[in-house]
Amino acid sequence: MSRTIKFRPGRTWRLARMTTQLLALVAVLVAPFLGGWQRLERNELSAWNSPDTELPPRLRERLPRGDAAGRAYDLNVLIGGGTAAALGPVPFADPVAGAIVLMTRAPTGRALLAFALPLLIALVAGRVFCGWFCPFGTLGRAVAALLFFVPFARRLEIPPSRPVRYFVLAAGIVAGLLGVPSVLYLALPHLLLQQSVYSMWLLGGGGAALGLLLGLLVAGLFLGPTSYCAMVCPTGGVLGLAGRARLVRLRIREPKSCGSACRLCSQACWMQLEPSSGDAGPDCDLCARCVPACPRTNLEITLGWSKAPTRKKALPVLAGMLMLAGTGHVEAQRESPELVLAAERRVDGVVVAVDVVDKTGIPVAADADETLSGSEVSVFLGRGEGEFATGPLEVVVHRGDRAIELDFDEPTSPISTQGRSIYRRRIEARLHPGDVVEVRPVDGWLREPQRFVVPHPGVDVSVGNVLVFVAGGLAMFGGLMSLGLAIRPST
């Protein structure tokens, strides 16, 4: 018989959990800003808020360019825009989003490590990420604390059977294999939170990500703030599967001392689990919220191996995810170019329009195996009816510390007309959010350089756009949560 270590989590345990939650939330709020700061040149920092405003040179030269910010940004790019973090040299990535990335990119040792570490931690402590680190879990707990002041808020009973999250996971993996990973990313609330913060910090608005996040929170007010985390979140489902084989568990110390009608610990459970049954189950996130609710101080944390049959249920599923993520580089062929920047600005009566189209992976012809690469940059300068610039033009594309200069003697497009009005050229580079297209001054047209920042996909600062996505998020997430509440095990 194996020996186990037992202890009762007290105030120190709960204080440590709240501290890690706070640090994780602060990291979400600060990391995108640091990453964007590192991403752009120092003299372009002011372009994030006002493209026509320059910082004083003395202040500009003193802006820091920290290595830590660079590492944080590089890791976010590696994993997919906000699903990863780094503690010193050790990377961590959401295992669900990480699996999608590893299926669509050539895997690296750092990416594999970032993907595997959360699964290994879940094998030890189950869904500890959800209760200790997930920023949306922290936000959900805050919403739950405010429910007392919301008259229409509900805390509906969550059924013990929660299969919807596995359907969402399966649909997301299939979509990722087909080259549409955004389907699964939409189901990760912590990613929506980070992308909303990124957009508000660097681009002046929350757009689609903020609208979907607000829709999810509103759905939580009607269907219970814990419903999404418990029933729909695919990351929670994967970590729960690993939690079947976990070493660290919350158990009742002396089951016989508990009264048959006492379910105070179960009523206090954030995830609506049943610690009163003797084992809270694989979805327990070790928040220990139930411990002070027990009048007999009869709950404890144990460290020891679980029963073999339980491990057998979890390990094949986790092995399957590892094999799926390690299937290699599956480069999905894109069917159409992607518009990454479409901006227009009027300066002293002159219309300056800039478009950037990403053509990476687009077939050269319908029946050709060869594909294009890089981006197509287009610039237009016009004034009034039929008046447009036709002389030389200088355009600079800033990609981090690299500058790509495009010098035009005259407009190059449309090719089929004699009166060409658009300066267009393809560059062998893909532009990412935060990159800058700068149009240099032109005699008689522009007195000052004009900078256009590539936005994050889905960002729109208009209130109407955000409200549309709030409605869409309420319908989508509310539907998934309602489906989870409706599915109950047969008796």
Q: What is the pLDDT of residues 331-343, one digit of tens each?
A: 444 445 777 888 8
Please indicate, yes or no, whether residues 355 and 480 belong to a single structural domain of this protein: no
- Please report the pLDDT score of residue 69 as a whole number: 43
pTM, entire model: 0.68
- CA dihedral 288→292→294→300, nearest 10 degrees, is 40
Please indicate, yes or no, whether residues 366 and 408 belong to a single structural domain of this protein: yes
Q: Which of 218-222, 310-314, 329-333 shows the lowest mean pLDDT across its residues?
A: 329-333
The number of distinct structural domains making up the chain is: 2
Residue 73 pLDDT > 80: no
Question: Cα 177 from chain centroid?
Answer: 19
Q: Is residue 383 part of a domain?
A: yes
Please indicate, yes or no, whether residues 371 and 470 belong to a single structural domain of this protein: no
Q: Which of 82-86, 308-312, 334-338, 356-360 shows the lowest mean pLDDT across its residues?
A: 308-312
Query: Using omega within 30 degrees of 0 as the cis cutoff, is the peptide bond preceding 414 cis?
Result: yes
Residue 55 pLDDT > 60: no
- Please report the pLDDT score of residue 268 as a whole number: 86
- Please report the pLDDT score of residue 415 as a whole number: 66
82, 293, 358, 478 from 339: Cα distances, Å: 22, 55, 6, 31
Residue 324 pLDDT > 60: no
Please indicate, yes or no, whether residues 43 and 192 belong to a single structural domain of this protein: yes
Please indicate, yes or no, whether residues 85 and 234 belong to a single structural domain of this protein: yes
**Residue of higher predicted confidence among 313 and 363:** 363
What's the domain range around 390?
Answer: 349-446
Please indicate, yes or no, whether residues 227 and 104 belong to a single structural domain of this protein: yes
At 347 the three-state DSSP class reads strand
Please indicate, yes or no, whether residues 482 and 353 belong to a single structural domain of this protein: no
Please indicate, yes or no, whether residues 151 and 123 belong to a single structural domain of this protein: yes
> Cβ distance 431 to 397 under 8 Å?
yes
- Please report the pLDDT score of residue 92 as a whole number: 76
Q: Is residue 301 part of a domain?
A: no
Q: What angle do CA 385, 386, 387 make, to 5 degrees?
A: 95
Q: Is residue 320 part of a domain?
A: yes
- CB burial string 64-83: b at 16+ within 10 A, e below: eeeeebbbbbbbbebbbbbb
Please indicate, yes or no, whether residues 478 and 435 belong to a single structural domain of this protein: no
Q: Is residue 460 part of a domain?
A: no
- Please report the pLDDT score of residue 76 as a whole number: 44
Q: Is residue 380 part of a domain?
A: yes
At 218 the three-state DSSP class reads helix
Under the banding of pLDDT at 50, 70 and 90, the label for residue 292 is: confident
Please indicate, yes or no, whether residues 101 and 137 belong to a single structural domain of this protein: yes
Q: Which residues contact 7 (CB under 8 A, 6 or more apart)?
A: 300, 301
Highest mean pLDDT among 25-39, 193-207, 433-447, 449-463: 433-447
395 backbone dihedrals φ, ψ, rounded to 5°: -125, 135
Q: At what angle do helices 109-125 and 67-79 cross, to 10 degrees?
A: 80
Under the banding of pLDDT at 50, 70 and 90, the label for residue 46 is: very low
Q: At what angle do helices 135-145 and 11-39 cross, to 10 degrees?
A: 120
Residue 144 pLDDT > 50: yes
Instruction: Report the distance separating Cα 113 and Cα 394, nearest Å.
Output: 44
Please indicate, yes or no, whether residues 479 and 431 belong to a single structural domain of this protein: no
Residue 41 pLDDT > 50: no
Burial of 20: CB neighbours in 10 Å, binned 0-12, 13-18, 19+: middle
> Cβ distance 356 to 376 under 8 Å?
yes
Please indicate, yes or no, whether residues 323 and 410 belong to a single structural domain of this protein: no
Instruction: Report the distance separating Cα 457 and Cα 329, nearest Å.
Output: 24
Percent of the chain residues topping a pLDDT of 90: 10
Residue 68 pLDDT > 70: no
Q: Which of 69-73, 256-260, 285-289 shows the lowest mean pLDDT across its residues?
A: 69-73
Q: Is residue 354 part of a domain?
A: yes
**Residue of higher predicted confidence among 153 and 24:** 24
Q: Is residue 11 part of a domain?
A: yes
In this prediction, residues 89-97 reach a mean pLDDT of: 76
Q: Is residue 40 part of a domain?
A: yes
Q: Which of 8-22, 150-164, 463-477 shows the lowest mean pLDDT across its residues?
A: 150-164
Instruction: Report the distance separating Cα 466 and Cα 46, nearest Å.
Output: 25
